[in-house]
């Protein structure tokens, strides 16, 4: 059993708790998830089973998009609605166009200081563990890329945004920084992840739906898995000849017709002549493709 399950994670569960629930339902031996969501957050959480766990690392690098609800005028110690209010401020009377002007300054490559309530480590300790003890440590700014911020609604203390961003972006910090630029404070009141990379959100299923399908039998739920290479659909691809398949799967570089404009060092999807996904290859000079990750998906 190999494939991806796109879970619409409910609020109140950690990403690992959600994974374990589906893992039991689908009776998988090997499982992993990619792109953790905070317990209060909802939305797309790709769960990987069997050989599909090999794409987890590549999905971590994928862009993501969110629907974000911000509460203006109140800052919390965690940056979200689960925290305690630690500061209040007046909210300026700004319309959506004025918020678009403010948010426009955050589009592109920016630097962001990770929040204390995060899973990053300092001297072997998770930052959130230190934060719960009341400790605040210095965090180095990190470069991230905000591709787009769409202001959907701005009314009173409510601000609704659509955000598309790179890996490593903390939406809670983005909300706080936007509020600061507007002369107030804020926290993230709701967060829903809509997409991860090129995965189709129409394939998402919530936990209750998964449980109902599982009642019809394990095969019914497993039929909702999508192929591992769906996570890499935005990558260039090549097809090998039958003679080169065994060499590639055995760890040898092979000659192949690379896609136009393919630069050495770029990763690509590799298929056999029967369209069977073989794995991830790296294009080298001289039209060579070296295996970087082989997927044993069966004949």
In a domain, 169, yes or no: yes
In a domain, 299, yes or no: no
In a domain, 260, yes or no: yes
Cα angle 170, 76, 144; round to 5:
15
229 Cβ contact list (under 8 Å, min separation 6):
55, 269, 277, 295
Residues 129 and 181 in one domain: yes
> What is the structure's pLDDT at 298?
61
Please say if the pLDDT value at position 193 is more than 90: yes
> What is the structure's pLDDT at 138?
80
Mean pLDDT over each residue of the chain, to the nearest integer: 92
Please say if the pLDDT value at position 299 is more than 60: no
> What is the structure's pLDDT at 272?
92
Phi-psi region of 134 (alpha: psi -120 to 50; beta: other; left: phi over 0): left
Which 3 state secondary structure label does DSSP give 148? strand
Residue 116 banded pLDDT, cuts 50, 70, 90: confident
Q: Which two tokens stand for residue 249?
A: 């799967």
The catalytic position among 38, 77, 80, 229 is 38
In a domain, 151, yes or no: yes
Are the CB atoms for 62 and 48 separated by under 8 Å? Answer: no
- State the CATH number of the domain containing residue 42: 3.30.2350.10
d(CA 89, CA 74): 7
pLDDT in tens, 21-77: 999 999 999 999 988 888 889 999 999 999 999 998 888 889 999 999 999 999 999
Measured in Å, how far apart are the chain's first and last C-alpha atoms? Answer: 13
Crossing angle (nearest 10°) for helices 207-214 and 15-26: 10
The total domain count for the chain is 3
Residues 70 and 186 in one domain: yes
Domain that holds residue 277: 235-294
Reply yes or no on whether 274 is catalytic: no
In a domain, 122, yes or no: yes
pLDDT in tens, 277-298: 999 999 888 789 999 999 987 6
CA nearest to 76, candidates 115, 104, 33, 41: 115
Residues 108 and 131 in one domain: yes
Residue 110 banded pLDDT, cuts 50, 70, 90: very high
Please say if the pLDDT value at position 214 is more than 60: yes
Residues 224 and 242 in one domain: no
According to DSSP, the β-strands at 277-284 and 267-271 are antiparallel
d(CA 273, CA 267): 19
DSSP, res 97: H
Residues 148 and 218 in one domain: no
CA nearest to 74, candidates 175, 181, 151, 192: 175
């Amino acid at each position: 059993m190999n494939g991806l399950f796109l879970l619409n994670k409910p609020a109140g569960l950690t990403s690992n708790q959600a994974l374990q629930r589906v893992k039991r339902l689908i009776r998988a031996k090997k499982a992993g998830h990619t792109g953790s969501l905070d317990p209060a957050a909802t939305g797309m959480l790709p769960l990987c089973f069997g050989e599909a766990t090999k794409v987890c690392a590549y999905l971590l690098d994928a862009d993501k998009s969110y629907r974000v609800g911000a509460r203006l005028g109140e800052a919390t110690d965690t940056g979200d609605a689960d925290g305690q209010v630690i500061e209040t401020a007046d909210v300026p009377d700004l319309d959506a166009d004025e918020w678009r002007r403010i948010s426009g300054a955050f589009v592109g490559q920016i630097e962001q200081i990770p929040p204390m309530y995060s899973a990053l480590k300092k001297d072997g300790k998770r930052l959130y563990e230190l934060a719960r003890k009341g400790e605040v440590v210095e965090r180095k700014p990190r470069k991230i890329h905000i591709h787009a911020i769409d202001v959907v609604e701005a009314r009173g203390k409510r601000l609704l945004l659509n955000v598309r961003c790179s890996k490593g972006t903390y939406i809670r910090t983005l909300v706080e920084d936007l509020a600061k630029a507007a002369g107030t404070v804020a926290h993230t009141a709701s967060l829903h992840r809509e997409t991860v990379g090129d995965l189709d959100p129409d394939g998402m299923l919530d936990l209750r739906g998964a449980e109902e399908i599982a009642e019809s039998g394990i095969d019914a739920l497993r039929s909702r898995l999508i192929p591992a290479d769906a996570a890499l659909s935005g990558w260039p691809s090549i097809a090998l000849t039958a003679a080169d398949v065994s060499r590639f799967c055995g760890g040898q570089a092979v000659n192949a017709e690379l896609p136009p404009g393919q630069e050495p060092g770029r990763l690509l999807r590799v298929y056999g002549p029967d369209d069977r996904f073989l794995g991830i290859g790296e294009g080298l000079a001289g039209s060579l493709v070296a295996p970087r990750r082989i997927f044993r998906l069966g004949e």
